[in-house]
Chains A and B, each alone.
Chain A
Amino acid sequence: MKIVVTVKLVPDTNAEKRIDPGTKRLVRVPNETVLNPFDEYAIEAALQVRDARADGSTVTVVAMTPESGKEIVRKALAMGADDAVMLCDEAFAGSDVWGTAIALAAAIKKNGFDLVIAGSQSTDAGTGALPGALAEYLGVPGLTYLRKLAVEGTTIRGERETDTGFQTVRVEAPCLVSVTKSINEPRYPSLKGIMGAKKKTIAQWSASDLALSVGSGGAKTELTAQASPPVRGKGKLVEAADAVAGAQAIIDFLKEKKLL
């Protein structure tokens, strides 16, 4: 089975992000870029499926990233993925969900796939729209928000989180699944894995390799304005003498705000 995992670079989850007031763009600090946390669950899920099958199945990591993202791709290889494809091209800069999904779909088709595993969202843009759009462009069913995944032969079974509980769902490969953080505990790359990753293949494909013209020129959405929200200042602080006084302070405040 050919398993493909999509990964993305995002600003570090724990770093306070800042917008440059001049350029109105996110200030990107090189050392604060990490592998999208949700993608680590996707990689781990892929490795578990591959290792359980033990039939020569492979895990390929696909990332749309400038060359500077190589370290992140290497981390996925160090965790145990077999090889990687980086979509590096100036033409991809400024891609929106549409442009990204089209480019990733073209790359995944070129690589070949039976099962695509994606993180359910990214921690930067966080639209959560990529897995669905990617499945559509790949022309396969998409099982989203899985917290459990089992593959038997070509049958994919999963437990899907919903807003009110869960669903058990089934589909035949080829398909795409997206996973949530409940699905597993991603492994840390071992020293052996880190050393081994250096020998693994990282292919670099451009837009012309994929016969594509996407990116900001081909994006379907266009940023026309950007504004800073009002700064949220420090509010009222009440030291509660006891529980009743603490609760009363909140009740009074809620009444004042017409919330009660």
Chain B
Amino acid sequence: MQHAIAFVEQKNGTARRVAFEAVHAAKLVAEQLGGEVHAVVFGSGAAAVAELVKAHPATKIHVLDDAACNGFLIDPIVDVVAGLAKELGGAIVVAGNTMIGRDVASRVAARLDAGINADVVAFEVANGTVACVSPKLGGLTITTCAFKNADFGVALIRPNVFAAKTDAAGNGEIVALAAPTRAYAMTIEADVDEAAAELGVEEASVVVSGGRGLGGPEAFTTILKDLADSLGGAVGASRAAVDAGWISHGHQVGQTGKTVSPQLYIAAGISGAIQHKVGMRTSAVIVAINKDGNVPIAEFADLMVVGDAFAIVPELTRGVHAAKG
């Protein structure tokens, strides 16, 4: 293992925030291995994103801006990333821990017969061996897992951990990738954005979540959404809210939903039972608003405000706007 490949996830010219973080994480590892950083940008709009990648530390930026690839799920990307890894002879593949990132990484890992570490928050490199540090079991324990005697390894990084400062300009060389020529079996018949401008909860640096205490679906699209927007964050939800059909499962935080670790987690009307706790307890700062001060979340929130979330949340949004001028 000598080089590092960063999968730069993008859609129609808009990169995922974690995509740039992947480039920086790849740089951290490659630097210690004495290798190069190769970024891969794929699909319609890739050329525009590749220009943005130039402000990040990649040696080469491999680009395939081809609308023909948009109709297939991940298979062409897997072919390209695994092919590049083989060509380099030894590499760690770094991708963001997102839905597409997980899909691409898991198939690339299998294609390369490589190990995979998910939810990585740090890398340790010693004597040419790369190890990944990841919280497991909802932050109950922190493990360090090394890739054993391997030419290849795959790491899914936790969003919001590896800083993507643009001052570390790499001015990477843009290399055009050849379009894969084989036929692909999977076809995307329609691609619908329900909330195009919305950031996924996994990637957001602020998550504003609602629970059973909000009593119905309205709050999720009104007061919680407004607060999340004011803080540049995303709307999350507890299992109870999702099971009641108030908001889609993609927003669920917890053991049967997503694990998040934002800078700020605001829980409105959420009791914080273990099932929810394991999905958010590694957040940097937790603020809870609940009518009942004796709910489980009071035991681990940094600030617990006892009061009516319906009244406090809109006031808080006003306060945030005022503070930001």
- List A residues at the B interface (Cβ < 8 Å): 13-19, 24, 26, 37-38, 96-98, 101, 123-137, 141-145, 147, 157, 160-172, 175, 180-182, 219-229, 232-240, 242-244, 246-251, 253-255, 257, 259-260
| Alpha-carbon gap, A147 to B73, bound state (A) | 16
Q: Given A38-B256, A124-B137, A141-B75, decide whether A221 and B110 contact each other with a Cβ distance below 8 A.
A: no
**Closest chain B CB from A244 CB (angstroms):** 5
Contact A250 B316 (CB under 8 A): yes
Q: Are A163 and B304 in contact (CB under 8 A)?
A: no
Q: Given contacts A97-B116, A239-B293, are A223 and B306 in contact (CB under 8 A)?
A: no
A28–B312 CA distance with the chains assembled, in angstroms: 42
* A172: nearest chain-B partner, CB-CB: B185
Q: Is the CB of A236 within 8 A of B302?
A: yes
Complex contact B156–A127 (CB within 8 A) = yes
Contacts of A143 in B (CB 8 A): 73, 186
Whether B298 and A237, one on each chain, are in contact in the complex, defined by CB atoms closer than 8 angstroms, is yes
The answer to whether A221 touches B145, judged by C-beta atoms less than 8 angstroms apart, is yes
From the candidates A164, A182, A243, name the one contacting B249 in the complex (CB within 8 A): A182
Q: Quick check: is B68 within 8 A (CB to CB) of the other chain? A: no
Residue of B with least CB distance to A235: B302
User: What are the interface flags for B180-202 relative to A under an 8 Å C-beta threshold, 1 for contact and 0 otherwise?
Assistant: 00001111111111111010101
Whether the pair B141, A227 counts as a contact (CB closer than 8 A) is yes
B280 to chain A, nearest CB (A): 11
Q: Is B173 an interface position by the 8 A CB rule?
A: no
Tell whether, in the assembled complex, residue A235 and residue B301 are in contact, meaning their CB atoms are under 8 Å apart: yes
- B interface residues, Cβ below 8 angstroms from A: 11, 73, 75, 78, 98-100, 102-107, 109-111, 113-119, 131, 135-148, 150, 153, 156, 184-196, 198, 200, 202-203, 206, 248-250, 255-256, 259, 263-264, 266, 273-275, 281-282, 285-287, 289, 293, 298-308, 311-312, 314-316, 318-320, 323-324
CA–CA, A123 to B307, complex, Å? 33
Q: In the assembly, what is the distance between CA of A141 and CA of B139, in Å?
A: 33
Given A96-B115, A136-B107, decide whether A235 and B142 contact each other with a Cβ distance below 8 A.
no
User: Secondary structure at chain B's binding surface: helix, strand, loop or mixed?
Assistant: mixed
Say whether A97 contacts B315, CB under 8 Å: no
A131 to B74, CA, bound (A): 13
Find out whether the CB atom of A237 lies under 8 angstroms from the CB atom of B306.
yes
**Extra pairs beyond A24-B141, A166-B194, A168-B189 (9, CB < 8 Å):** A129-B102, A131-B106, A132-B105, A134-B110, A175-B185, A221-B116, A221-B148, A242-B307, A254-B264
Q: Are A220 and B315 in contact (CB under 8 A)?
A: no
Q: Is the CB of B110 within 8 A of A137?
A: yes
Cα(A157)–Cα(B115), bound, Å: 31
A238 with B141: CB separation less than 8 A: no
Smallest CB gap from B281: residue in A: A232
